Chains A and B, each alone.
Chain A
Amino acid sequence: MTRISKPIEILLVEDNPGDVRLTREALYDARVNNSLHVVNDGVEAMAFLHREGQYADAINPELILLDLNLPKKSGVEVLAEIKADEILRRIPVVVLTTSHAEQDIVRSYNLHANAYVVKPVDLEQFITVIKSIEGFWLEVVRLPLDDKQ
């Protein structure tokens, strides 16, 4: 199932530089060729997905990892906008957050988050979780192809 020629494009929406770095390292070692794009707030995330401004040439990601607690526009707002968009809603969104709050979990699933994952504080566990996301979403799941525009 490995795709050598074309990497799987992943968009990480995360404002914490430490979490960005750990995610990058965990995915760098992944068995499946992937390319990680990072934006640091919700407004940038939507600009990337709509290919606006500096993101005019951005590639449509095949998977989105979304923090909930983001500057400028919250992860919940980003999720709601993606899942209400005819073109974007097919892209799986994995919420990756420190929040254990039941209301965040329920609200995310009700807004059609594809999965809700709590970020472990412990470094080793954080990497294990990213590798598990990689193992399922890049190796087992059939991702939707980029919409022909």
Chain B
Amino acid sequence: MSNTSIDILLVEDNPGDVRLTMEALHDANVPNTLHVVNNGVEALAFLRREGQYKGELIPELILLDLNLPRKSGAEVLAEIKADDKLRRIPVVVLTTSQAEQDVVRSYNLYANAYVVKPVELEQFISVVKSIENFWLEVVRLPPEEKQ
């Protein structure tokens, strides 16, 4: 694994969840940089480096809420996983939804993992730390597509 920081894109419209995720990842064993966008349209603009995101890096991991303004998480997921340049990037769905149809649809759209956000604060941080432990410390993440 490279010794540079791992770039993570968090797609989340809830400011409280953004803050908690940021805090949990700040203490991570692996250096990482968290980029945050608040809706589905911004997420795809970031990933395609459009408009204000022209100079941005392609993230190595995406944390995706399902319930998002402007474009839903399921739509964002479908577009990422249908894109030859983006589909290699692991997408962890991080949502409050426990609905079986959301779970199945996400996996069928090739979500890499589906994680339910706990309502309780300590548990929320513990879940983010577990995502960090597995995805940043154990998994081999794909290298960026050569331009």
The answer to whether B87 and A133 have CB atoms under 8 Å apart is no
Does chain A have a CB within 8 A of B46?
no
Asked if A141 is at the interface (CB within 8 A of a chain B CB), the reply is yes
- B112 CB to nearest chain A CB (Å): 5
B100 on the interface (CB 8 Å rule)? yes
Chain B residues whose C-beta falls within 8 Å of the C-beta of A136 in the assembled complex: 113, 130-131, 133-134, 138
Residue in contact with B110 in the complex, picked from A112, A115, A117, CB distance below 8 Å? A112
Contacts of A140 in B (CB 8 A): 115, 127, 130-131, 134
Measured in the bound complex, the distance between the Cα atoms of B81 and A29 in whole Å is: 35
> Is there an interface contact between A109 and B142, defined as CB atoms closer than 8 Å?
yes
A142 x B130 contact (CB < 8 A):
no
Output the nearest chain B residue to A115 by Cβ-Cβ distance: B139
C-alpha gap A92/B106 in the complex (Å): 11
* A: contact size bracket: 20 to 34
Q: Check if B98 is an interface residue, CB within 8 A of chain A.
A: yes
Q: Which residues of A contact B137 (CB under 8 A)?
A: 132
A32 contacts partner chain B, Cβ-Cβ < 8 Å: no
Chain A interface helix/strand/loop/mixed = mixed
Instruction: Answer whether residue A110 sits at the interface, using C-beta atoms and an 8 A cutoff.
Output: yes
Please state if B143 and A116 are interface contacts (CB–CB under 8 Å).
no
Specify the chain B residue showing the minimal Cβ separation from A108.
Answer: B142
Within 8 Å CB of A145, what residues of B? 100, 103-104
**Chain B: how many interface residues by the 8 Å CB criterion?**
30
With a CB–CB cut-off of 8 A, which chain B residues contact A112?
A: 81, 87, 110
Question: Please, which residues of chain B bring their CB within 8 A of the CB of A141?
Answer: 113-115
B2 at the interface (CB under 8 A from A): no
Cα(A112)–Cα(B143), bound, Å: 15
- Which residue on chain A has the smallest CB distance to residue B111? A114
Query: Which of B87, B98, B113, B116 is A109 in contact with, Cβ under 8 Å?
Result: B87
Contact between A115 and B133, CB atoms less than 8 A apart: no
Asked if A100 lies at the interface with its beta carbon under 8 angstroms from chain B, I say: yes
- Contact B90 A109, beta carbon cutoff 8 Å: yes
Interface flag for B19 (CB, 8 Å): no
CA distance A116 to B60 in the complex (A): 13
In angstroms, Cα B131 to Cα A139, docked, is 11
A135 to B130, CA, bound (A): 8
Q: 1/0 per residue A109-146: CB within 8 Å of B?
A: 11010111110000000000100110111011111110
- In the complex, besides A90-B107, A129-B138, 12 extra interface pairs with C-beta distance below 8 angstroms are A109-B88, A109-B142, A110-B87, A114-B90, A117-B138, A117-B139, A132-B138, A136-B134, A139-B130, A142-B114, A144-B103, A145-B100
Sample of 6 A–B contacts (CB below 8 Å)? A92-B113, A102-B143, A110-B87, A132-B134, A136-B130, A145-B100
